[in-house]
């Protein structure tokens, strides 16, 4: 089974490369993301595997999708990617699993998520500031909380996320929930 990047070390290299490419110090990325300089430094050195929440904050600050941060830069050269070669990343806190379906060169990000029973994953509003996102539940039940409003989705349901706001993805059942996330960058004037 493949992992996204090549573990925490690969993710750390990607974050550092993006920070350096922008000419940002650790302090600037920390200020922009709300993640401490110490934590960013540990991630960049491959000493810490960040949670989905931390990856969401860093992706928002860098204006990259989580997929762009977590995926290796190369893709399938012949258009075929075998299941065994599909990049995966697991949140160390919740067991939330991301399986990257689309390759880096494809015009939209397509990601399969497996959200374990009882898991809750929060994402900051900044994660949605520059993207349009569609959720499609494959099986199980997913509660998507947007502030005080909760949307209960079941197998086959879809939901197009609206304006950027903090969201929580909740599986309060006793069975795993699998869903697909389709992301495209918003066109900016």
pLDDT of residue 74: 56
pLDDT of residue 75: 52
Q: Is 8 left (phi over 0), alpha (psi -120 to 50) or beta?
A: alpha
pLDDT of residue 6: 42
For residues 172 and 126, state if they share a domain: yes
pLDDT of residue 73: 57
pLDDT of residue 145: 95
Q: In which domain, by residue range, is 52 found?
A: 8-70
pLDDT of residue 35: 93
* Range list of β-strands (E), the chain: 88-90, 97-100, 109-115, 120-123, 131-139, 141-146, 149-154, 158-160, 167-170, 177-185
For residues 88 and 175, state if they share a domain: yes
Per-residue model confidence as pLDDT tens for the chain (189 residues): 333 344 455 788 888 988 999 999 999 999 999 999 999 999 998 888 888 889 888 988 888 777 777 776 555 556 777 888 788 889 999 999 999 888 877 888 899 999 999 999 988 887 777 788 999 999 999 999 998 999 999 999 999 998 888 899 999 999 999 999 999 877 655
pLDDT of residue 53: 84
For residues 42 and 95, state if they share a domain: no
For residues 174 and 95, state if they share a domain: yes
Q: How many independent structural domains does the chain possess? A: 2
As a dihedral over the C-alpha atoms of residue 151, residue 109, residue 186, residue 167, rounded to 10 degrees, the angle is 30
Assigned domain for 128 exists: yes
As a dihedral over the C-alpha atoms of residue 47, residue 54, residue 58, residue 110, rounded to 10 degrees, the angle is 110
Assigned domain for 22 exists: yes
pLDDT of residue 187: 65
For residues 55 and 87, state if they share a domain: no
Q: Classify 158 as helix, strand or coil.
A: strand
CATH number for the domain harbouring residue 167:
2.60.120.10
Assigned domain for 58 exists: yes
CATH number for the domain harbouring residue 23:
1.10.260.40
């Amino acid at each position: 089974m493949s992992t996204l990047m090549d573990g925490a070390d690969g993710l750390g290299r990607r974050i550092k490369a993006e920070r350096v490419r922008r000419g940002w110090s650790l302090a600037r990325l920390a200020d922009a993301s709300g993640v401490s300089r110490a934590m960013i430094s540990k991630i960049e050195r491959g000493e810490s595997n960040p949670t989905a929440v931390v990856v969401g904050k860093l992706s928002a600050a860098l204006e990259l999708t989580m997929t762009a941060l977590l995926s290796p830069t190369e893709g399938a050269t012949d258009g075929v990617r075998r299941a065994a070669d599909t990049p995966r990343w697991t949140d160390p806190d919740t067991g939330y699993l991301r399986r990257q379906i689309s390759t880096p060169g494809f015009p939209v990000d397509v990601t399969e998520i497996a959200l374990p029973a009882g898991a809750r994953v929060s994402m900051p509003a900044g994660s949605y500031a520059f993207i349009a996102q569609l959720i499609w539940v494959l099986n199980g039940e997913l509660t998507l909380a947007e502030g005080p409003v909760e949307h209960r989705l079941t197998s086959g349901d879809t939901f197009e996320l609206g304006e950027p706001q903090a969201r929580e993805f909740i599986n309060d059942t006793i069975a795993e929930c699998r869903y697909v996330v389709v992301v495209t960058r918003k066109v900016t004037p």
